[in-house]
Structure 1
Amino acid sequence: MTTAIGAPCQVERAYEDCRRIAAAHGRTYFLATRLLEPERRPAVHALYAFARLVDDIVDAADAPAHAEVSAARLDRIEHVLRARLVDAPVDDPDSEEDRVLLAAADTIRRYSIAAEHFWVFLDAMRMDIPGSPQYRDHYATMTELRGYMRGSAAAIGLQLLPVLGTVAATADAEPAAAALGEAFQLTNFLRDVAEDLDRGRVYLPADELAAFGVDTELLRECRATGNTDPRVRRALAHLIAVNRDLYRLATPGITLLVPRVRPAIRTAATLYSGILDEIERTDYAVFTRRAAVPQHRRLRVAAKEFVAR
């Protein structure tokens, strides 16, 4: 048994695991964190690793036999995190999962992050587990989708805000932070249309697709043939414009962050919105390829911010 925050060597190892996870799976975010002050980087890695851990558990739930196990793992994650935050004893098998939770708990306490953002995030992730009472595989409207993104994405922006630091009251910066989280998430949905279809899910609002004559059957046909129907192309162009509006809404909030971290957030926003450019550049070929910003562009954007900071 152990308490919420372990010995210094345990915490150091936990953060190192989180750094490795971020480097392996979050190339854009990891590159952006290189522009942060060294003392802030471990906390960002911990928050990324926590989100990645939960996301991987949810992805595993797509197999019918695994859904119940995934739901139970999310319940355990919430239980362990809640216990660590109040110094209650918890089982500690010294797994990578538990080390990520240790680093997340240390980060929450160190930066006084509102724990509610984590419970809202976990509730949204339960919406992705088949068989759970909250499960959703499609969203009728953008309002419904943004309700999901409040937990899956906006909450992550709000988790990060105390780590990054602000020059104004934290509450003043929260709307922009939430908008940037949603902007990142919608970019994922536009990039990953094909993968989500393969998992039986559509994360694009049905009414906005219908305005262009698009429904789930047409999306599946595009996936099967590898060809992007002109109606789908127009719908994607519209949703990319909506996505860019979210980035524009979030951009002024960057000036509310402490000056030292602004280059990192600008880099992340520029690179992630660059995925939209890549979707357009390939003529919306989202059913046959996963849009990604080329490495040379990622390095150029990061270098420009590094020099300007």
Structure 2
Amino acid sequence: MIRPSLEDAYAACEAITRREARNFYYGIRLLPPQKRSALCAVYALARRIDDIGDEEGPFAEKATALAAVRAALHGAADPADPVMVAVTDAAAHYPIPMGAFEELVDGVTADVRMDADPDVTTGFYATFDDMAGYCRSVAGSVGRLCLGIFGSMEHPDSPGYADALGIALQQTNILRDVREDLQNGRVYLPREELEQFQAELVLDEHGVLVDKSGGLAELIRFSAERARDWYAEGLRLVPLLDRRSAACTLAMAGIYRRLLEEIAADPASVYHQRRSLSGWQKAGVAAKALAGMGRIA
């Protein structure tokens, strides 16, 4: 294959982002063109890594695919790969912490190992700290990748805020997807908290979560309250960003935070469906972010 032009490489990444980033793209499109293209490149590679973990196939096959990504990050990329062409160019223009992609690979590797756990319904992660470590790998890493493109005022805590915001978003994902993850043989909720709330993860014959004692609903509300603290910490990044980068961050975080509040208000709503905001709701959050109205932590 012929090496794609930079224009074609970035166009391919933007097409992936528009198609796959159902929530993030509402924020990404608020960026100026050059930053938008760079962030689409980052998203496209992150999406590729994530998809390796979610696709069907044996552990060895997925491990090989993840190893190929690591090799590409160290200079062994296919020169005809538009995603790597775009990411390499973006990294030449922005201080993107490329090591964060390898952290993402580590997190997806943990997902793949979970698939092989015969007793995962008891909880793959023993404690919240264990789960937070996973969240840091798969989502905090993405927050820091975004920060490399956004840029920020000189502040020693900027990477930590970006990390916290990614962890907050991932906690929201875990609560939203608890049913779907269980159907796929994965449990992210900490084992000690499942035991503390006497929450059983059981699907009925229709694939609906059964919560006879109400313990799962209590755990979801408890987890949502904790996630709010992570959002508050992560959103301390916003005043350190330029207006468009701040708007992007507020839009992405705002969509997930609103989703978190809807789940907290009605935990049972995730027992039979994958909750999401409507397109109009997402657009409204993005519009408020661009207008600077979403800066409340």
Q: Normalising by structure 2, what TM-score?
A: 0.88
Contact 2:31/2:245 (8 A) holds in 1? yes
Tell whether 2:15 aligns with 1:20: yes
Distance 1:82 1:260, change over 3 A: same
Contact 1:187/1:276 (8 A) holds in 2? yes
Distance 1:132 1:102, change over 3 A: farther
Q: Corresponding residue for 1:177?
A: 162
Amino acid in structure 2 at the alignment position of 1:200:
G
1:31-42 matches, cutoff 5 A? 31-42=26-37
Q: Corresponding residue for 2:136?
A: 150
Q: Alpha-carbon deviation of 1:91?
A: 4.1
Structure 2: any 5+ residue segments left out of the alignment? none
Amino acid in structure 1 at the alignment position of 2:202:
R
Q: Give the match's secondary structure for 2:268.
A: coil
Tell whether 2:94 aligns with 1:111: yes
Contact 2:49/2:104 (8 A) holds in 1? no
1:78-227 matches, cutoff 5 A? 78-83=70-75, 90-92=77-79, 94=80, 98-130=81-113, 138-169=124-155, 171-214=156-199, 218-221=200-203, 224-227=207-210
Distance 1:134 1:91, change over 3 A: farther
Contact 2:127/2:190 (8 A) holds in 1? yes
Distance 1:224 1:91, change over 3 A: closer
1:202-230 deviations in whole A, cap 9, x for unaligned? Answer: 1111112211112xxx2124684544441
Q: Structure 2 CA distance, aligned partners of 1:134 and 1:221?
A: 18
Distance 1:133 1:232, change over 3 A: closer
Q: Give the match's secondary structure for 1:144.
A: helix
Contact 2:13/2:40 (8 A) holds in 1? yes
Q: Corresponding residue for 1:87?
A: none
Amino acid in structure 2 at the alignment position of 1:254:
V
Q: Structure 1 CA distance, aligned partners of 2:97 and 2:207?
A: 44
Equivalent position to 2:42, from 31, 34, 47 = 47
Q: Structure 2 CA distance, aligned partners of 1:39 and 1:163?
A: 10
How many residues in Structure 1 have an aligned counterpart in Structure 2?
Answer: 288
Structure 1: any 5+ residue segments left out of the alignment? 85-89
1:123-178 deviations in whole A, cap 9, x for unaligned? Answer: 22111224999999510101111121221111111111120010224x43111100
Q: Structure 1 CA distance, aligned partners of 2:27 and 2:61?
A: 34
Amino acid in structure 2 at the alignment position of 1:52:
R
Amino acid in structure 1 at the alignment position of 2:165:
L
1:290-301 matches, cutoff 5 A? 290-301=274-285
Q: Give the match's secondary structure for 1:288.
A: coil
Aligned-pair identity in percent equals: 31
Distance 1:228 1:102, change over 3 A: farther
Q: Alpha-carbon deviation of 1:66?
A: 3.4
Tell whether 2:289 aligns with 1:289: no
Q: Structure 2 CA distance, aligned partners of 1:162 and 1:266?
A: 17
What's the Cα RMSD here? 2.5
Contact 2:114/2:186 (8 A) holds in 1? no
Q: Structure 2 CA distance, aligned partners of 1:135 and 1:211?
A: 22
Q: Give the match's secondary structure for 1:204.
A: coil
1:17-43 deviations in whole A, cap 9, x for unaligned? Answer: 111111111122111112111211011
Q: Normalising by structure 1, what TM-score?
A: 0.85
Q: Alpha-carbon deviation of 1:59?
A: 0.7
